[in-house]
Amino acid sequence: MAKMDLAGKVAIVTGGGRGIGRAMALGLANFGANVIVTAARNPAEAEEVAAQASAETGRECVKAVAANVADEVDCQRVVEAALTSFGAVHILINNAGRGMRFVSEDFLERPTKFWETDAATWRMIIDTNVNGPFLMAKAVVPYLLRDGWGRIVNITMNQETMRRAGFSPYGPSKAALESETIIWSQDLADTGVTVNGLSPGGITESGMVPEQARDKFRRVMLDPAVMVAPLLWLCSEQSDGVTGHRYVAKDWDPLMPPAEAAQHARTTAGWP
């Protein structure tokens, strides 16, 4: 971890106001990066992340931006905020997402059949989870290509959950994001820009979990901070050339050298 110096790097973390996004934004800031944190529904949470990062680092290194990743104009505005505030953009963490709570608050106990899902809700989740990463990447990639170096990390989930009964459209949306990851990594081959997927590896303490289910799953819920160590490696120059892969954060062993930990945490099923 001590070798993961990201000083001088500028990152965008979408949906960075809570849960996994918050942990990743603070992790990046604490290891030297400047960070743009976006929030669509609760911009005050992103402002709190900026204040916490300043208190922890002694730097004004995080800027909060209210933005909806499903809106192309907002995505361009987020990139412009990075350029205006910090002079560059090097890293995109596509974390913003909408989960099954928008379909039903008790989805963990009583799954909703796909044909019972409201069509507008289906479109909203797909728009955020599939189109949002595309629009953000489309806005960021020209700057990464110009610099000849960059990172895109798409936050995904267990492949088993993508096939779980009653988990659409969230499961299909993350399966689509994994396809985007593989295809984009090939489109960007030999440019210095890498694209990888990162999953926590299980149910995680976040807003995705309904309040009434927290007691039942509290014992097995992962701390969002589990994402930080693999993320730092993926965003560092130590991972140059590593692209088109998928990593499971809970399988990352912090006692191993980072390259070995990465090999241990990498999944191969369906991935090159």
Catalytic site positions = 170
Helix, strand, or coil (residue 36): strand
Using left for φ > 0, alpha for ψ between -120 and 50, and beta otherwise, residue 42 falls in: beta
* 266 beta partners: 247
| Cis upstream peptide for 169 (omega within 30°) | yes
- Cβ-contact 80, 53 below 8 angstroms: no
Strand 246-248 to 266-267 pairing: antiparallel
Name the DSSP letter for residue 213.
Answer: G
**Burial zone of 149 (CB within 10 Å; 0-12 exposed, 13-18 middle, 19+ buried):** middle
Name the DSSP letter for residue 232.
Answer: H
Helix, strand, or coil (residue 22): helix
Tell me how far apart the alpha carbons of residues 9 and 220 are, in angstroms, rounded to a whole number.
Answer: 34
- Cβ-contact 231, 198 below 8 angstroms: yes
Q: Which residues neighbour 123 within 8 Å (Cβ) at sequence distance 6 or greater? A: none
Strand 10-13 to 91-94 pairing: parallel
